[in-house]
Amino acid sequence: MAKKNSITETSKAFKKGGAPKVGGVLVIEAYLRTLESTPGVYRMINSSGDVLYVGKAKNLKKRVGSYTNLNRQPTRLQRMIFETQSMEFVTTHTEAEALLLEANLIKRYKPRYNILLRDDKSFPKILLTSGHQYPQVLKHRGVENREGSYFGPFASVWAVNETLTILQRAFLLRTCSDSVFRNRTRPCLLFQIKRCSAPCVARINEAGYGELVSEARTFLTGESQKIQRGLAKRMQEASDNMEYEIAANYRDRIRALTQVQAHQGINFSSIGEADVIAAYQAGGHTCVEIFFFRDGRNFGNRAYYPSHADYEDAPHVLEAFIGQFYSGKEAPKALILSHILPNQSLMVDALSVTAGRKVDISCPKRGDKMNLVDHALNNAREALGRRLSESASQRRLLESLSDVLDLASAPERIEVYDNSHISGTKAIGGMIVAGPEGMLKKAYRKFTIKNLEMVPGDDYAMMTEVLTRRFSRALREDPERALGQWPDLVLIDGGAGQLSVTLKVFEKLGVEDVAVAAISKGPDRNAGRERIFLPGRDPISLPARDPVLYFLQRLRDEAHRFAIGFHRQKRSKALSKSSLDGVPGIGPKRKKALLHHFGSAAAVEGCGLTDLEAVEGVSGAMAKKIYDWFHTDG
């Protein structure tokens, strides 16, 4: 706490105008002597080498110089300046280039004092491949490194899967891989249920399949009505010619198209290719809701909750979100926003440079586009309301837990530990983390038990190793507890013995000010009769319907689920290994030949030299090597 107090006192003194310059200001002033008045990006770094903040500037010298006037900065930034021990700079040709670089560096370093986009996973798309006489249609996520046409993004995997199903029914395109396609000798089930035209066994020629591909591409670019009219015309022609089975196939394809059109929801053909983005703020938090429109069709929506300081307003949060969201991905032709950005023209230039074409950004005040923005804002408001309600409930639980365990305050970070093994083998440990926002799954950790001298199944020894490794690293990497990685409460799955082991580890490492509790199931291991063990106190038993007990059960069960899942992964990997894996010179091809010939690895181990020589691809020398591997002692 001494460091935090010194920062606060320094901040107060600066506001009064009587404090000397602190280290961070002196560091910044030293850089100003050689800094140029050019566009660029700067990084503020603490004594541990961690990036505290990434910023961009039209004039680096002027922007960085503003940090030397502490009394004009909010308390949060005063703290950042105080922690700054070094800086790094990158000059750029233009301010737009600086904006792009800033977004990339924020995504890379995730600085504590920046507005952060926490969830930046890529969105799924549909890929219509090329480079093959019979292209396939499939779901794609990640780098667009395959040859073909990409359509999307879709807000969810569910939306992609639904569209793929429609494409199969309406256009009968293959979804199988090229290797499966090459090796088919008869149609698969998808042909039987009328979801594929079976080009693999020549049930359709290349020209006919190419027509289906062309229709699918036209449909995916938003012209479904054109395709539907063409199918209706062909259905009528087939019916007039009394080709009723062909007419029925066209009818089924029309029904599939009608189904996907009925599920479009909000649909404004005038929108074209655009992302509608709205930011709503309440309670010091922001929800950014983004809707994806492609060719006038709604591809779904997604809510984000950027991390930021309380004083950041919606336009600044929205600008930071857009910069990071489109870093590494191409923006659509238009962004329709709920707020005008502080540097909107600069953002237009930056996104246009990345996309290689003009990207329009607008904030409509009337018409269909404004209705879309209002719809996105309503979704953002409702989503944030749900999240704040959940957070409030979680906060009340944490406060009640602090009362039960007699903690100084509600814990901000709870770490829960559990071990898993089978008769002492494949022993592992798991750590889950919870806080005011619920389960923090990105902070979960797995531990493979490394102590080979440990008695198999010794839970105390396993817990000792896990806790020693976890807190030795914390002491080494964050001794000042400034990075938010230290727990306020450690919860152990177990009883008095596990609690005693934990306390011994903490005493040995010199860990203080971390509360510890152990929770064990009561008689007959019945849920609802748990006992909570605390240092120097008698065990506590809570009423079966107590919300705090239910909360503790959830934490313990989540730790158990996580540990068991990791243990099963290790077991499955071990089971998938073969005794042939360790034989020198046996690669996948020879291993496959041996298993096909003998039926199992055990049969290979027991066979004779002559039998090994009969296997295709196994020479006499290799057969001798395999035989000696299994029949020579030592």
Neighbours of 599 (CB within 10 A): 10
Whole-number pLDDT of residue 355 = 85
84 and 44 in contact (C-beta within 8 Å)?
yes
586: CATH: 1.10.150.20
> Per the domain annotation, does 426 fall within a domain?
yes
The reply to whether 139 and 284 lie within a common domain is no
The reply to whether 560 and 589 lie within a common domain is no
> Per the domain annotation, does 407 fall within a domain?
no
Backbone angles phi, psi at 160, to 5 degrees: -65, -45
> Per the domain annotation, does 498 fall within a domain?
yes
- State the angle between helix axes of 459-477 and 496-509 in degrees (0 to 180), rounded to the nearest 10: 30
Task: Choose the final residue of a domain: 574, 601, 616.
Answer: 574
Pair of tokens at residue 478: 């964050």
Pair of tokens at residue 231: 């199918």
> Per the domain annotation, does 210 fall within a domain?
yes
Task: Choose the final residue of a domain: 205, 239, 262.
Answer: 262
> Per the domain annotation, does 34 fall within a domain?
yes
The reply to whether 566 and 591 lie within a common domain is no
Residues 623, 610: Cα–Cα separation, whole Å: 8
Residues 629, 531: Cα–Cα separation, whole Å: 54
> Per the domain annotation, does 131 fall within a domain?
yes
394: left (phi over 0), alpha (psi -120 to 50) or beta: alpha
The reply to whether 524 and 609 lie within a common domain is no
96 and 349 in contact (C-beta within 8 Å)?
yes
The reply to whether 351 and 382 lie within a common domain is yes
Whole-number pLDDT of residue 361 = 93
413 and 433 in contact (C-beta within 8 Å)?
yes
Residues 461, 517: Cα–Cα separation, whole Å: 18
Rg for the chain, CA atoms, rounded: 32
Whole-number pLDDT of residue 363 = 93
Point out the residues of the chain with pLDDT beneath 50: 1-20, 260-267, 424, 575-576, 634
Backbone angles phi, psi at 481, to 5 degrees: 60, 40
The reply to whether 561 and 471 lie within a common domain is yes
The reply to whether 587 and 569 lie within a common domain is no
433: CATH: 3.30.420.340
> Per the domain annotation, does 268 fall within a domain?
no
The reply to whether 493 and 530 lie within a common domain is yes
The reply to whether 518 and 586 lie within a common domain is no
Residues 566, 560: Cα–Cα separation, whole Å: 10
The reply to whether 222 and 309 lie within a common domain is no
> Per the domain annotation, does 49 fall within a domain?
yes
The reply to whether 83 and 215 lie within a common domain is no
Residues 235, 31: Cα–Cα separation, whole Å: 76
- State the angle between helix axes of 314-325 and 95-109 in degrees (0 to 180), rounded to the nearest 10: 80
The reply to whether 139 and 257 lie within a common domain is yes
Q: How many domains does the chain have?
A: 5
Task: Choose the final residue of a domain: 109, 136, 170.
Answer: 109
pLDDT digits over 145-178, tens only? 788 888 767 766 666 777 777 777 778 888 888 8
Domain boundaries, position 481: 414-574
